[in-house]
Structure 1
Amino acid sequence: MKSPILILGAGMVGTCTALQLALRGHPVTLVDRREPGRETSYGNAGIIQCEAVEPYPFPADPGLLLRTALQRATEAHYHLGDMPAMAPALARYWFHSRGERYAQICREYGQLTRRSVAEHAPLIEAAGAQDLVRREGFRLVFRTPRALEQEVKDAERLQRLWGLPFRVLDGQALAAAEPALKPRLAGALQWTEPWSITDPGELVQRYADLLVRHGGVIVQGDARTLRPAGTGWQVQGPDGPIEAAQAVIALGPWSDAAIRALGYRFPLFVKRGYHRHYRGGTGPALTLLDAERGYVLAPMQQGVRLTTGAEFARLDAPATPVQLARTEPLARELFDLPEPVEAEPWLGARPCTGDLKPVIGPAPRHPGLWFHFGHGHQGFTLGPVSARLLAEQIDGDTPVVDPTPYLPARFL
């Protein structure tokens, strides 16, 4: 019998961690305060982005930086009072978004994202979740020919490096592919390999159901109660303490608080984001990014989901959905969106690291404790492959990729 393991956090990353370990014979207990997939993993654009070989760098465009500084950008927003506390991590983010440092990070990061669809596929089949999947990719639409031309050149570069397939649609072809699109745009670039999910939270729940079928246990509990217990670890569950030989912290944006309680200070920060659904209109046929305005429209089971760019603020700061207010009229320029479904926008947070890479591996100072967080914009994409890499480290198996770039010890 392999060792029992506690997994804290039931988002895509934590649920996949528990599932990968259960499939390898470990007794696992998945602990979260809510049902699986109800936090960050619920609110994303639902794309398994196998083309996202380069993580989002700190912006370098002077125009975007100026608009952001003046609080006029649709792509980004910030809380001025929270900037001093976030500054050290953001400075690391800026430092690692330049030159050869960033190029090396992309080479490492792409090793995971290129495997994302291949790792999701068997889990989707085993979980009976094929009804949630669309396999046509997604589109970046452009309002100006110059912006489209620049994007095509960058896509050609990525195709040479990684073999990424794409197609280009001119204005006429885009109008034919998206008959509900109101204006004639310059065109679109369609990445053809990614998959899109019509209910991201439901996919996590299906993975959680698969976990239970393989013997895993899911309980509601408070991750803040994690502490060493004998030679293992303990957390408080609904019926008392739950103990296991090993534990994994996979709490997404709440991971920083958990590891700080154990004495770790990593350059972590969050990018918050908002979404809202619109039902009854004529949205896009395929998930699309309005590339020059910085928002996504995704056809979901709940309606057309409008998701925003990044808001830099404390995790617990009051909601300020100004980006949603700015992008909603822009989205209505493209499609006939009715009134929103929700009375208030949804708010979530993306867990980010100062060097743009996730944290996957053993806690440096605590035997039997493992870290698995910091996936930024791509936790939904990377969940299965990242969880496989962690499970292989726990079991001492040959890893799917070299784990060195993601190890927690890089921050010490």
Structure 2
Amino acid sequence: MAGPIAIVGAGISGASLAYRLASRGHDVLLFDDDRPGRATGWNPGGINPLHGPGFPGFMAPIYAEAYRLHADQQEEVQAISGLGFGWKLVDRLFLASSDEEGTALQCMAGHYQALDGFSARWMDAAELARWDGRLDPRWIGGLMTHGNARVDAERYRQALIAGAVRKGARIVNRKVDAVETRGDRIVSVRSGADDMAISALCVAVGAWAGEAIAGWSPGVTVPVRALIGDLLLIRAPGDGPRADIGRGLTAIYQHDGDLYWVGGTERTSGPLGEAYEPAREELIAGAASLMPGWRSWQVVAQSSAARPMTPDRLPVLGRTPAYANGWVINGGGGKGILMSAWLANRLVGMIESDNDPPEVARFSPSRLIE
């Protein structure tokens, strides 16, 4: 290829793509405008392959492969970048308040038992009370699972970028203002006063996919919108839960030492950032509903992040309709960290082979959404 492969956007997908391309010896130009509100900036960092859109079903083997890609690369990324990001395997307790929820969780146990390195066991109400008497007694039981991974999401993103740089990638801390095309090929990008020749363009702009880049007209593509998630960071010296605990979106996650995350929400409007009182009240009430006997914690911080979401909640990956060398990698949504490695790995293969394999057709930027 003549000229570098340009990546617009340095969120978790763009960072993963830069790392994998650089690892394969490609000349990489990563544009990072370092905007606030990106998904990794305020995120519990779960890498969880056993739930999400399309699971159980066609996404199950994809999620499992994505998990293994992270597991296989995490030591190398930490070593080459010199940045630790706290990779660890965690226990998580899924709570049930009805027989119907309990049955669903016990069915989920089979998926945990079937995946290498994972396990799960059912705990009835009496065992839950013995495990931690601060849990709400209304829980009829819960599924204690092991095997999901956790990282400091923002540190992981930074480590991938640092690793890509060590492998030869170049970072431009500006946005791309315009692209120049000849026929169906993108030949250069403009950033500030600089015009830079490129061999391919990968757009990984996350929740800001609707923002215009002059000259970028990829054709009719799947829309990506911002799904805002709110979190609290709390401190509980000495007596926090011994596992992640949750029901649905409401959850308490271990973070670092005596710090814990409390999540979560999903909203499509309202502000990004710290001051959103309705979300704060909802999150505090959610934590109290899980463990009403746990009262020693204090809120340290509150914020939110924008996760890129498509109408069918599946990612977007592939060549754009209008360009032979224009690609989109986006729409990871709530599975963005998990899927980033798989999406990057597949896109590298597509760029190198100049081929659109059938197994990624359901993620095509031009797919039909029913």
State TM-score, norm by structure 1. Answer: 0.75
- Structure 2 matches for 1:68-107, cutoff 5 A? 107=57
Q: Cα offset for 1:237?
A: 4.1
> Are residues 1:192 and 2:134 paired?
no
Output the CA distance in 1 between the equivalents of 2:263 and 2:198. Answer: 39
Which residue identity does 2:21 align to in structure 1? L
Name the SS of the counterpart of 1:312 in structure 2: coil
Q: Cα offset for 1:364?
A: 0.9
Q: Cα offset for 1:171?
A: 3.4
Q: Cα offset for 1:406?
A: 1.0
Output the CA distance in 2 between the equivalents of 1:399 and 1:137. Answer: 38
| Cα RMSD, aligned residues only | 3.4
> Are residues 1:295 and 2:250 paired?
yes
Quickly say closer, same or farther: Cα 1:239–1:205, change in 2 above 3 A.
Answer: farther
Output the CA distance in 1 between the equivalents of 2:280 and 2:100. Answer: 23
Residue 39 of structure 2 is matched in structure 1 by 40
Verify the 8 A CA contact 2:38 2:307 in the aligned structure 1: no
Q: Deviations over 1:291-348 (max 9, x none)?
A: 4xx3221121382111212112278799745233123033135133533212xx3121
Residue 211 of structure 1 is matched in structure 2 by 164
Q: Deviations over 1:2-27 (max 9, x none)?
A: 75111111111110011111111111
Output the CA distance in 2 between the equivalents of 1:361 and 1:245. Answer: 16
Quickly say closer, same or farther: Cα 1:159–1:122, change in 2 above 3 A.
Answer: closer
Which residue identity does 1:49 align to in structure 2? N
Output the CA distance in 1 between the equivalents of 2:366 and 2:329. Answer: 13
Q: Deviations over 1:225-269 (max 9, x none)?
A: 131255534444467334321111111111233489625453433
Name the SS of the counterpart of 2:95 in structure 1: strand
Name the SS of the counterpart of 2:243 in structure 1: coil
Quickly say closer, same or farther: Cα 1:27–1:274, change in 2 above 3 A.
Answer: same
Output the CA distance in 2 between the equivalents of 1:171 and 1:120. Answer: 35
Residue 355 of structure 1 is matched in structure 2 by 312
Q: Cα offset for 1:285?
A: 2.3
Q: What number of residue pairs does the alignment pair up? A: 354
Verify the 8 A CA contact 2:20 2:344 in the aligned structure 1: yes
Which residue identity does 1:227 align to in structure 2? V
Q: Cα offset for 1:367?
A: 2.2
Quickly say closer, same or farther: Cα 1:337–1:358, change in 2 above 3 A.
Answer: farther
Q: Deviations over 1:144-197 (max 9, x none)?
A: 252542332441575699787422223344455557x45444332133231122
Verify the 8 A CA contact 1:288 1:298 in the aligned structure 2: yes
Which one of the candidate residues 291, 304, 311 is aligned to 2:267? 311
Verify the 8 A CA contact 2:320 2:327 in the aligned structure 1: yes
Verify the 8 A CA contact 1:315 1:349 in the aligned structure 2: no
Q: Deviations over 1:4-51 (max 9, x none)?
A: 11111111111001111111111111112118x972112222110111
Residue 95 of structure 1 is matched in structure 2 by none
Verify the 8 A CA contact 1:363 1:369 in the aligned structure 2: yes
Output the CA distance in 2 between the equivalents of 1:207 and 1:139. Answer: 30
> Are residues 1:341 and 2:296 paired?
no
Quickly say closer, same or farther: Cα 1:304–1:352, change in 2 above 3 A.
Answer: same
Structure 2: runs of 5+ lacking an equivalent: none
Which residue identity does 1:228 align to in structure 2? E
Quickly say closer, same or farther: Cα 1:385–1:137, change in 2 above 3 A.
Answer: farther
Which residue identity does 1:389 align to in structure 2? R
Residue 51 of structure 1 is matched in structure 2 by 50
Quickly say closer, same or farther: Cα 1:25–1:347, change in 2 above 3 A.
Answer: same
- Structure 2 matches for 1:109-148, cutoff 5 A? 109-128=59-78, 132-142=86-96, 144-148=97-101
> Are residues 1:13 and 2:33 paired?
no
Output the CA distance in 1 between the equivalents of 2:347 and 2:270. Answer: 28
Output the CA distance in 2 between the equivalents of 1:140 and 1:259. Answer: 43
Hey, which of these two has a bigger chunk of helix by percent?
Answer: 1
Output the CA distance in 1 between the equivalents of 2:231 and 2:275. Answer: 12
Which residue identity does 1:275 align to in structure 2? L
> Are residues 1:277 and 2:233 paired?
yes
Which residue identity does 1:132 align to in structure 2? G
Output the CA distance in 2 between the equivalents of 1:111 and 1:268. Answer: 24
Which one of the candidate residues 347, 362, 366 is aligned to 2:323? 366
Output the CA distance in 2 between the equivalents of 1:233 and 1:390. Answer: 19
Output the CA distance in 1 between the equivalents of 2:211 and 2:179. Answer: 14
Which one of the candidate residues 126, 133, 154 is aligned to 1:201? 154
Residue 351 of structure 2 is matched in structure 1 by 394
Higher mean displacement: 39-48 or 373-382: 39-48
> Are residues 1:253 and 2:252 paired?
no
Verify the 8 A CA contact 1:51 1:193 in the aligned structure 2: no
Q: Deviations over 1:274-295 (max 9, x none)?
A: 112112443322222234xx32
Output the CA distance in 2 between the equivalents of 1:113 and 1:182. Answer: 31
State TM-score, norm by structure 2. Answer: 0.83
Which residue identity does 1:288 align to in structure 2? I
Q: Cα offset for 1:349?
A: 1.6
Output the CA distance in 2 between the equivalents of 1:190 and 1:400. Answer: 38
